[in-house]
Amino acid sequence: MLPDRKPLYIVLAEKIARAIEDGVYQVGEFLPTEVQLCDEYKVSRTTVREAVRVLQELGVVSRKQGSGTVVEARKARSKYVFEIDAIPDLWQYVESTELKVGTTRLIAHSEALVPLPSGQWYLIEAIRYLDGEPLAWKHVYIDARYDMAVQEVGTRRVPIYSLLEQRYGIKTERIHQSIGAVTMPAPAAIALGMVEGSIGLEILRTYYDDNQKLFEATLTIYPPNRFKYDNELKLQYGSAAL
């Protein structure tokens, strides 16, 4: 099972947000550079970039091309609290597990195991490992237009949607997640050391850009005893009576 902890980039985003709220970094001033933040917080540049991306989406900072990152507000907008906390495993995986890619091929949308828009898609078949043991069997579908990012899948410990954002400038607007029981297909059973037809846990995630266009889908199957999903919801109270 995955460890019960927050992704490192979320922890860093929270630390920087607290520093901004405490006045360490003033509104209107530039944050330290990526290199300086790496040195100060003892993290990688990837972690810094993702933390800053979260703060940017929360309206706390903005990026000025060629200049740096400017502090825009002392506190984050509350509307993103649920969205971040609801899918912590996306980044827990990249820090705690290893994705080993099997085969990659171009397919038509009708060949996929999940509903996809018409056109060509890359199918990546992979297995995710935790401490050398197979944790999950995975199908990843990526819009064929983003072939350069496909080559990087499994080579870097960042979520695939983040690879697409970095490579093509995509803005991930929303992620839909569906969880349910499934009869384990033969390829998944073989990969996970299970009996074909036994019950597994299936998670389907679909990723949409800011034009509401689906650009990635992932189908992941776990043995039921190898997956734990923790979800924390924070209530936001307003002036209206409940």
- Apex CA 185: angle with CA 183 and CA 186, to 5°? 140
**Domain limits, CATH 1.10.10.10, in the chain:** 8-83
Whole-model pTM over 0.95: no
Q: Which residues of the chain have pLDDT under 50?
A: 1-4, 78-89, 235-242
What CATH topology corresponds to 89-226?
Answer: Chorismate lyase (3.40.1410)
Taking the alpha carbons at both ends of the chain, their separation in whole angstroms is 38
Closest to 158 (Cα-Cα) out of 211, 92, 223: 92
Q: What is the CATH number of domain 8-83?
A: 1.10.10.10
- Residues whose CB falls within 8 Å of the CB of residue 55, separated by 6 or more in sequence, listed in order: 13, 16, 17, 61, 76
**Domain limits, CATH 3.40.1410.10, in the chain:** 89-226
Q: What's the pLDDT score for residue 88? A: 45
Which amino acid appears at position 87 of this protein? Answer: I
Q: What's the pLDDT score for residue 82? A: 32
Q: What's the pLDDT score for residue 58? A: 78
Q: What's the pLDDT score for residue 242? A: 37
Q: What's the pLDDT score for residue 33? A: 93
Q: What's the pLDDT score for residue 198? A: 87
